[in-house]
Structure 1
Amino acid sequence: MEPDEIKSGALVSLQDLCPSSPFFKQGASLRVVGKLLEYSLETGLATIIDGDNSLIVTIENLKDLNFQVDSVYQFIGELLIQPDHEGVLQARVGRNVDGIDLDLYHQSLLLLRQFQANHLNN
Structure 2
Amino acid sequence: MASSAIKSGALVALRDLHPSSQYYSQGTSLRVTGKLQEYSVETAIAIIADGSANLKINTQHIRDLNFRVGSIYQFIGELLIHTDNEAVLQARVGRNVDGMDLNLYHQSLRLLKQFQANQ
Q: TM-score, normalised by structure 2?
A: 0.96
1:54 matched residue in structure 2: 54
2:6 matched residue in structure 1: 6
Paired AA for residue 91 in structure 1: A
Shift of 1:62: 0.9
Q: TM-score, normalised by structure 1?
A: 0.93
Superposition misfits of 4+ residues, deviation over 3 angstroms: none
Paired AA for residue 84 in structure 1: D
The 1-side partners of 2:31 and 2:70 are apart by 19
Share of identical aligned residues, percent?
Answer: 64
> Unmatched 5+ residue regions in structure 1?
none
> Unmatched 5+ residue regions in structure 2?
none
1:68 matched residue in structure 2: 68
Matching of residues 1-122 of structure 1 within 5 Å: 5-119=5-119
Deviations 1:13-51 (A, max 9, x none): 001110000010100000000000010121010000000
Shift of 1:55: 0.2
The 1-side partners of 2:114 and 2:91 are apart by 27
Cα RMSD after superposing both structures: 1.1
CA contact 1:41–1:60 (8 Å) conserved in 2: no
